[in-house]
Amino acid sequence: MTAVGTDDPTVERATAAGAALEIEGVSRRFGDFLAVDDLTLAVASGTFFALLGPSGCGKTTTLRMVAGLERPSAGTVRLAGQDVTGVPAHRRPVNTVFQSYALFPHLDVLENVAFGLRRRRTRDVRARALEALELVELAHLADRRPAQLSGGQQQRVALARAVVNRPALLLLDEPLGALDLKLRRRMQLELKRIQAEVGITFVHVTHDQEEAMTMADTVAVMNRGRIEQVGAPADLYEHPRTAFVANFLGQSNLVPGTVVEVLDGGRVLGVDVAGTRLRVPAARSVAAGPRVLVGVRPEKIRLVGADEQVGTAHDVLRGGTVVDTSFTGVSTQYQVDVGALGTVGVFAQNAGGTPVHPPGTPVALAWDPDFAFALDGDEEPAAGTVDLDDEP
């Protein structure tokens, strides 16, 4: 890419490929509501970063503060090491793909894409805009108006309009939210390809955990204006540190218990859960005291006969009764009532040969204790689960 002809030093930096983003102690208050609460976050240059959380968690506000569309009540935002907290949106080397796309209805597709280039008085505007449209495979629709495009096409124009400026940072605010499921899957892969191709740092805001895990190198899980946990998707899934993360990323069975002994030279904790002794690797416990929440992912649990003998390598929870059976094709999902511990979810891979247990079947639950984890016992076990009243 040729250098951009402008006197603005902030914009000049935009021509360098992907800059690192640092957010430090940032808060944003709307009246008496604290949307973002003392947030600190670092995004490495050139990565695909996802900010994941339920609606209203403050992720969009965070994004808007990075874009310069919102001013933090406190804290600093740094781009490539430079403090940009007070820099207005139009002078930041950051571009955004808006949730509603925000395409200019009075301009054709080409002029929409060229808008940023023209503001910065770039040379070869037309050629560069067309090049960006080719990247999203829409060059043939350059003279259409946005209203004449489908949702997926509009989404790609919005992407081209942002990418064409070669920003240091590309912000995506729920960009796939308005698309249907199949198109969303395709666009996820497409976005990933484009990110790899242009090498710009992407910060992607989404409430869809699957989307975040599919696309991002690093995911930050946000809740109530705070970051719950940051890490690679697999790391977050396998080592959740809070009940919210455990429930929001996939599903978890969380049951309260008390650490009663330390086994195996300190490497394993023995936990009493309603009279049953369970084991948790000490490395997989984040609890500070003896009260813990023991967690096991549903796909890690195996259903066995009520009185079936299981080797000591596995932990067993007995006295369960199947209360619901849903066949989903790739797996069968069970809800098993285990008395005082409530209901436990179990996913059985449909590998063939395994019988389907109808509701009412008495069963026992078995799992490899290496996959169990322990969270702080003070946490609410249902945090981050879907609440029917909660979703808009």
Partner 1 sequence: MTRLRLGGAVVPTFAALGFLFLLVPVAYTVLFSFNDGGKTNLVWRGFTLDAWRNPCGAPRVCSALVGSLQVGAVSTVVATTLGTLLAIGLVRARFGGRPAVDLLVFLPMATPEVVLGAALVSQFLSLRLPLGFGTVVLAHVMFCLSFVVVAVKARVSTLDPALEQAAADLYATPWQAFWRVTFPLLLPGIGAAALLAFSLSFDDFIVTSFTSGGFTTFPKFVYVSATRGIPPQANVISSAMFVLALLVVLVVQVVARARRR
Partner 2 sequence: MLRRSRAGTALAGQPPAPAGGRGARRLLVPGVLYLGVFFVLPVGTLLATSLYAPVPGGELGQYTPALRWQNYPEALGAFWPQLVRSFAFAGAATVVALVVGYPMAYVIAVRARGRRTLQGLLVVLVVAPFFTSFILRTIAWKQILADGGAVVGALRWLHVLPPDGRVSATSAAVVVGLTYSFLPFMVLPLFAALERLDPRLLEAGADLYAAPATTFRRVTLPLSMPGVVAGTLLTFIPAVGDYVNSSLLGNSTTTVMIGQVVDARFFRLLDYPTAAVLSVVLMVTILVLVTAYVRRAGTEDLV
Residues that bind partner 1 (CB under 8 A): 11, 67-69, 88-91, 94-96, 98-100, 102-106, 115-116, 119-120, 161-162, 165
CB of 88 to partner 2, least distance (A): 6
To the nearest whole angstrom, how small is the minimum distance from the Cβ of residue 102 to partner 1? 4
Measured distance CA(289)–CA(79) in Å, rounded: 40
Residue 85 CB-density burial (10 A; 0-12 exposed, 13-18 middle, 19+ buried): middle
* Letter string b/e over residues 16-40, b meaning 16 or more CB atoms within 10 A of that residue's CB: eebbbbbbbebbbeeeeebbbeebe
Taking CB under 8 A as the criterion, the residue among 18, 68, 146, 233 binding partner 2 is 68
Say if residues 177 and 11 touch (Cβ distance below 8 Å): no
What's the rounded Cα separation, in Å, for the pair 87 and 124?
Answer: 27
100's contact among partner 2, partner 1, none, with CB below 5 to 8 A by partner kind, is partner 1
- Residue 119 touches which of partner 1, partner 2, none (CB < 5 to 8 A by kind)? partner 1
> In this chain, which of 70, 174, 228, 315 binds partner 2, going by CB under 8 A?
70
Return d(Cα 199, Cα 348) in angstroms, integer.
40
- For the bound state, the minimum distance from the C-beta of residue 91 to partner 1, rounded and expressed in Å, comes to 8
Instruction: Give the one entry of partner 1, partner 2, none that residue 116 binds, where binding means its C-beta sits below a cut-off of 5 to 8 angstroms depending on kind.
Output: partner 1
Interface residue with partner 2 among 30, 40, 180, 324 (CB under 8 A) is 30
**What residues between 76 and 135 interact with partner 2 by CB under 8 A?**
88-90
- The answer to whether residue 56 forms part of the interface with partner 2 (CB under 8 A) is yes
**Binding partner of residue 150 among partner 2, partner 1, none, CB cut-off 5 to 8 Å per kind:** none
Q: What are phi and psi of 219, to 5 degrees?
A: -120, 135
User: Which CB, 31 or 353, lies closer to partner 2?
Assistant: 31
| Contact flag: residue 71 with partner 2 (CB under 8 A) | yes
3-state secondary structure of 176: coil
Q: Could you tell which of partner 1, partner 2, none binds residue 106, using a CB distance below 5 to 8 A set by kind?
A: partner 1
**42: partner contacted, choices partner 1, partner 2, none (Cβ within 5-8 A by kind):** none
Q: How far apart are CB 117 and partner 1 at their closest, in Å?
A: 9
Give 60 or 242: the residue with its C-beta nearer to partner 1.
60
Count CA atoms within 13 Å of residue 128 on its CB side. Answer: 22
What DSSP assignment string belongs to 237-303? HHS--SHHHHHHSS--EEEEEEEEEEEGGGTEEEEEETTEEEEEEGGGB--SSSEEEEEE-GGG-EE
User: In the complex, what is the shortest distance from the CB of residue 71 to partner 2, in angstroms, rounded to a whole number?
Assistant: 7
Verify binding: residue 173, partner 2, rule CB under 8 A.
Answer: no
Pick the closest to residue 179 from 162, 194, 191 (CA basis).
191
How far apart are alpha carbons 84 and 141 in whole angstroms? Answer: 36
Give, for 191, the enclosing helix (H) or strand (E).
Answer: helix 181-198
> How many other C-beta atoms are found inside a 10 Å radius of the C-beta of residue 62?
29
Distance from C-alpha of 113 to C-alpha of 251, rounded to nearest angstrom: 41
**Site for partner 2 (CB under 8 A): how many residues?**
18
Contact residues toward partner 2 (CB under 8 A) are 30-31, 33, 35, 55-56, 60-61, 68-71, 88-90, 389-390, 392
